[in-house]
């Protein structure tokens, strides 16, 4: 089943997430309002659907993924909230803080749910980067702390 996924914004980082969602046959939208010619060209080259305005994106999409500079993240989230968005909002901004492990867990979970995790990991491994492997290891460490296996349980959790 295809979802309508909104990407705020298809810059250099956001377009890889948009491409991952598109490769999984999701309908991927973006907002052209206020964006520059490079972003417009990038969105066009990946056949993203232009919602034109944030209001329209919020009405059209059940999932919105925000990939923006850290200084803009709160403002973008407030703007989405102001349009009464009721779906899943993922703030995937570039900040690298203590909350990054939780964010990576959320990104991997959303990618798994959308069926695009393998493509996302391929994008993260582009050019020989070990970011995908580091991310999986980091998420496993965090998950191990959160989900302690009960000594009498026969079930185990695997990422």
Task: Please state which of the ranges 24-28, 108-112, 124-128, 147-151 shows the lowest mean pLDDT.
Answer: 147-151
Residue 11 three-state SS = coil
What confidence tens digit (pLDDT) does each residue in 86-117 have?
999 988 876 555 567 777 777 888 888 888 88
**SS3 call for 88:** strand
**Model confidence pLDDT, tens digit, residues 44-70:** 999 999 999 999 999 999 999 998 877
CA atoms within 13 A on the CB side of 148: 4
pLDDT score at 145: 56
| List of residues 6+ apart from 117 with CB closer than 8 A | 108, 111
Q: Which burial class, exposed, middle or buried, applies to 27 when counting CB atoms under 10 A from its CB (0-12, 13-18, 19+)?
A: middle
CATH homologous superfamily for 4-146? NAD(P)-binding Rossmann-like Domain (3.40.50.720)
């Amino acid at each position: 089943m295809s979802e309508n996924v909104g990407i705020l914004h298809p810059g250099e980082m956001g377009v890889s997430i948009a491409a991952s969602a598109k490769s999984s046959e999701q309908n991927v939208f973006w907002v052209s309002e206020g964006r520059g010619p490079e972003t417009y060209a990038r969105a066009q080259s990946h056949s993203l659907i232009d919602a034109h305005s944030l209001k329209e994106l919020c009405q059209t999409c059940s999932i919105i993924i925000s990939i923006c500079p850290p200084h803009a993240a709160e403002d973008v989230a407030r703007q989405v909230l102001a349009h009464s968005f009721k779906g899943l909002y993922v703030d995937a901004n570039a900040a690298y803080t203590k909350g990054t492990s939780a964010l990576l867990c959320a990104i991997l979970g959303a990618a798994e749910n959308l069926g695009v995790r393998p493509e996302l990991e391929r994008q993260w491994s582009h050019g020989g980067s070990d970011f995908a492997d580091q991310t999986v290891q980091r998420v496993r460490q965090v998950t191990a702390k959160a989900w302690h296996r009960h000594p009498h349980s026969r079930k185990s959790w695997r990422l």
